[in-house]
């Protein structure tokens, strides 16, 4: 008929009422009769004990709740602080890596006799058929079509178009690229052609030349674009077969084109031998 919760509420109200009545009666006597005091003690004491425990329990729960809220807030603040520290640490690490890379680029630049302009790579052609990059230097900086682009590791490519403040560079791994080159060890000459991947083909190399895996291939300087001695790549594989006048050789570039971030543009390239200047 009545719910358990309702019965408990009614019981508490009755206990409070009885407690108030007994206290009221006993309060009228300065020294209440022994029997009345005993009754009051018998009736009130258990209720007060229960009430005291309830109040203490409620205080404990309330304090525990605020402790949890405070701990949760502190934990959230610590997480934010940790996240901030991690972010700062990552920024410092990135600055350190960038400084090392730029220091290497600067040291290499000091050994180049020609006028050099540093540029940042700001875009990459997403097409798998064309391998080009966009740099943040253009005609206003003295960049024009045909200029060679390099980094300390080797040849990057050639400027094929430029606007006032930006330029497009055709990478040596593009199928439209061609660099006159020679094997550094035995001077065997040929043409480095891109194959639209991270590899190149060394074409028109006379079969009579002994090409070995690991041989370094450098720019010959005969194409009028890249100064002689600039590193291009190394031999990774030779085509099998004995027929024909020429042999084709697979070349892996020294430059990791997936990691290009800064490059150097030779503004007035000369015919000096880079191998001699190093």
pLDDT surpasses 60 at 33? no
Model confidence at 178: pLDDT above 90? yes
72 and 126 share one domain: no
- Asked if 156 contacts 172 with a C-beta cutoff of 8 angstroms, the reply is yes
212 lies in the same domain as 227: yes
Is the pLDDT assigned to residue 19 strictly greater than 70? Answer: no
Is the same domain home to 122 and 47? no
Q: pLDDT tens digits, residue range 86-118?
A: 776 666 666 666 666 666 666 666 667 678 899
Residues 248 and 152 in one domain: yes
Selected residue with higher pLDDT from 14 and 71 = 71
- The structure tokens listed for 159 are 């400027």
d(CA 96, CA 86): 15
Distance CA 30, CA 227 (A): 117
Choose the final residue of a domain: 86, 110, 134. 110
Note whether 237 and 210 are same-domain residues: yes
Question: What stretch of H or E contains 249?
Answer: strand 246-253
- β pairing state of 231-238 and 116-124: unpaired
Biggest CA–CA distance in the chain, Å, is 133
pLDDT at residue 241 is higher than 80: no
Range of the domain at 80: 1-110
Q: Are residues 101 and 123 in the same domain?
A: no
| C-alpha to C-alpha distance for 217 and 187, rounded to whole angstroms | 9
Q: For the chain, what percent of residues have pLDDT higher than 70?
A: 63
- Domain end marker among 66, 83, 110: 110
**What is the reported pLDDT for 278?**
45
Confidence grade of residue 256 (pLDDT, cut at 50, 70, 90):
very high
- DSSP strands (E only) in 44-146: 116-124, 132-135
Question: What is the share, in percent, of the chain residues with pLDDT greater than 90?
Answer: 40
Cβ neighbours, 10 Å, residue 270: 15
Least Cα distance to 204 among 245, 251, 252, 155 occurs for 245
Distance CA(227)–CA(223), nearest Å, equals 9
Tell if the pTM clears 0.75, that is, is over it: no
206 phi and psi angles, rounded to 5 deg: -60, 135
Banded pLDDT at 245 (limits 50, 70, 90): confident
CA-based nearest residue to 157, from 189, 134, 129:
134
Asked if pLDDT for residue 254 goes beyond 90, the answer is yes
- Mean pLDDT score, 165-185: 95
Indicate the burial class of 144 (C-beta count within 10 angstroms; 0-12, 13-18, 19 or more): middle
Among 71, 93, 110, the domain-final residue is: 110
DSSP E strands: which ranges in 29-131?
Answer: 116-124
Residues 148 and 230 in one domain: yes
Which of 3-7, 168-172, 236-240 is the least confident region?
Answer: 3-7
CB contact set of 133 (below 8 Å; sequence gap of 6+): 121, 123, 124, 125, 157, 168, 169, 171, 260, 263
Taking the C-alpha atoms of residue 89 and residue 219, their distance in angstroms, rounded to an integer, is 41
Residues 75 and 155 occupy one common structural domain: no
The pLDDT score that the predictor gives to residue 277 is 46
pLDDT top residue among 10 and 256: 256
- Kindly tell me if the per-residue pLDDT of 5 is higher than 80: no
Helices 4-27 & 34-110 angle (0-180, nearest 10): 120
State whether 27 and 70 are in the same domain.
yes
Instruction: Return mean pLDDT, the chain.
Output: 79
């Amino acid at each position: 008929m009545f719910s358990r919760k309702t019965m408990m509420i009614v019981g508490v109200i009755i206990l409070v009422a009885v407690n108030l009545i007994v206290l009221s009666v006993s309060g009228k006597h300065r020294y209440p009769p022994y029997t009345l005091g005993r009754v009051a003690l018998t009736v009130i004491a258990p209720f007060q004990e229960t009430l005291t425990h309830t109040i203490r329990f409620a205080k404990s729960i309330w304090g525990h709740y605020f402790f949890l809220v405070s701990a949760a807030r502190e934990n959230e603040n610590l997480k934010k602080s940790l996240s901030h520290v991690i972010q700062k640490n990552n920024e410092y690490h990135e600055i350190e890596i960038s400084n090392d890379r730029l220091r290497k680029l600067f040291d290499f630049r000091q050994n180049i006799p020609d006028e050099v302009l540093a540029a940042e790579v700001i875009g990459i052609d997403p097409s798998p058929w064309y391998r080009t990059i966009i740099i943040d230097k253009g005609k206003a900086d003295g960049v024009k079509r045909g200029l060679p682009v390099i980094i300390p590791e080797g040849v990057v490519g050639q400027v094929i178009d430029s606007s006032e403040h930006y330029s497009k560079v055709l990478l040596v791994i593009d199928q439209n690229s061609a660099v006159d080159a020679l094997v550094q060890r035995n001077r065997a000459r040929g043409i480095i052609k891109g194959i639209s991947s991270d590899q190149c083909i060394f074409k028109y190399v006379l079969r009579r030349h002994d090409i070995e895996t690991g041989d370094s291939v450098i720019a010959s300087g005969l194409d009028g674009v890249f100064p002689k001695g600039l590193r291009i790549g190394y031999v990774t594989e030779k085509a099998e077969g004995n027929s024909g006048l020429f042999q084709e050789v697979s070349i892996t570039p020294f430059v990791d084109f997936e990691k290009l971030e800064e490059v150097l543009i030779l503004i007035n390239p000369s015919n000096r031998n880079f191998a001699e200047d190093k």
